[in-house]
């Protein structure tokens, strides 16, 4: 009798466990096909992610020389495809609530990171737009944000310039994207302006002919663009004029071109007796006549 009672007590404990284990086994058998399908979905999407990543690298590699941008877009594509496969796999396994929680968590995380790294995110997005729109390229001579130089590299976070003075300038991508850019290399042409003055005794026609003739003989001149000479202003002791000419940037820069032009104009004017007006020497207070020392009213400029 005691043995039967013991077996009865054991049965009360074991039977529910056995029923539950049996139910788990049956559910596990039913769950196996879904698990296999989920695994196959992950394998397929992983292959798709690899293919999509390589495809984006090839397409963007032809459109942009920015390696950082190509790598970033390729990585984002791969991660997006893998995440889509993961969500599909979880849906097949009946874990829909898990998918919803993951999406909500990802959204909150992305929002928090966006606020925490606002400047960094802005620079990355600006760098991506610069690489896609390509307002500048490596090797271009540009002027922006108060700096002039040659573009050395275009990254997602910053753009590096050589300022022609031995220093490298690194500018944030957002400043390049949001501020005006003067691209001197875009058209391949560059205009140089030389300002000059002559006295009132000189013949303007002769001055114009001499200046134009010597400028037109410069070896680095862009022959497709005409040289211009414009008289601009009458001053107290001179007549001002400017010479405008275009250069071939593959041969010389604007600074050296202007220097050569000034030397040639000075040479041809000296040879033809045309003198540049010289400013009046400064008057010192100690050299003023007696009448000028009596009060400041006698000093006029």
Q: Band the pLDDT of 217: cuts 50, 70, 90.
A: very high
Q: Provide the strand spans (E) within the chain.
A: 141-144, 147-154, 158-162, 168-172, 182-183, 189-198, 228-234, 239-248
Q: Distance (Å, rounded) from C-alpha 194 to C-alpha 292?
A: 40
Q: Band the pLDDT of 239: cuts 50, 70, 90.
A: very high
pLDDT digits 0-9 by tens, 61-116 = 776 666 666 777 787 888 888 888 888 887 777 766 666 676 676 676 666 666 65
3-state secondary structure of 11: helix
The strand order across the sheet containing 141-144 reads 168-172, 158-162, 147-154, 141-144, 182-183
Fold match between 11-116 and 135-183?
no
Does the pTM surpass 0.75? The reply is no
Q: Distance (Å, rounded) from C-alpha 67 to C-alpha 95?
A: 39
pLDDT score recorded for residue 294? 41
pLDDT score recorded for residue 155? 77
- Residues 152 and 161: beta-carbon distance below 8 Å: yes
Cα of 300 vs its chain's centroid, Å: 53
Domain-wise residue ranges, the chain: 11-116, 135-183, 189-271
What is the CATH number that goes with domain 11-116?
1.10.287
Radius of gyration of the chain, Cα coordinates, nearest whole angstrom: 39
CATH of 135-183, one of 3.40.50.1980, 3.30.930.10, 2.30.30.60, 3.40.50.300: 2.30.30.60
Q: Distance (Å, rounded) from C-alpha 260 to C-alpha 248?
A: 14
- Residues 85 and 44: beta-carbon distance below 8 Å: yes
Provide the token pair at 269: 């004017």
Highest averaged pLDDT of the listed ranges 130-134, 158-162, 259-263: 259-263
Q: Distance (Å, rounded) from C-alpha 254 to C-alpha 222?
A: 12
Whether domain 189-271 has CATH 3.40.50.300: no
Residue 131 predicted with pLDDT over 60: yes
List the one residue out of 186, 188, 193, 194 whose CA is nearest residue 248.
188
Q: CA 63, 149, 216, 233 torsion: positive or negative? A: positive
pLDDT score recorded for residue 297? 38
């Amino acid at each position: 009798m005691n043995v039967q009672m013991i077996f009865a007590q054991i049965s009360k404990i074991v039977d529910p466990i056995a029923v539950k284990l049996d139910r788990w086994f049956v559910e596990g058998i039913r769950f196996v096909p879904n698990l296999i399908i989920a695994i196959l979905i992950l394998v397929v999407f992983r292959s798709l992610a690899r293919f999509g990543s390589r495809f984006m690298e090839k397409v963007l590699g032809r459109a942009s020389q920015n390696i950082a941008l190509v790598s970033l877009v390729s990585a984002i594509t791969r991660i997006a495809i893998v995440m889509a496969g993961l969500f599909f796999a979880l849906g097949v396994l009946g874990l829909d609530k898990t998918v919803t929680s993951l999406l909500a968590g990802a959204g909150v995380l992305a929002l928090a990171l966006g606020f925490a790294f606002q400047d960094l995110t802005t620079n990355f997005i600006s760098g991506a737009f610069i690489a896609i729109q390509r307002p500048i390229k490596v090797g271009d001579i540009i002027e922006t944000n108060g700096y002039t130089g040659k573009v050395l590299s275009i990254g997602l976070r910053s753009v590096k310039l050589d300022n022609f003075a031995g220093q490298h300038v690194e500018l944030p991508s957002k400043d390049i994207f949001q501020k005006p850019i003067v691209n001197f290399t875009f058209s391949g042409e560059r205009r140089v302006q030389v300002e000059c003055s002559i006295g009132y005794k000189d013949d303007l026609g002769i001055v114009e002919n001499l200046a134009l003739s010597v400028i037109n003989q410069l070896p680095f001149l862009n022959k497709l663009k005409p040289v211009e000479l414009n008289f601009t202003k009458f001053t107290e002791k001179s007549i001002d004029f400017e010479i405008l000419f275009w250069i071939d940037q593959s041969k010389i820069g604007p600074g050296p071109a202007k220097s050569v032009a000034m030397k040639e104009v000075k040479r041809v004017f000296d040879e033809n007796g045309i003198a540049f007006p010289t400013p009046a020497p400064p008057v010192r207070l100690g050299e003023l006549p007696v009448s000028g020392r009596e009060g400041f009213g006698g000093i006029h400029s």
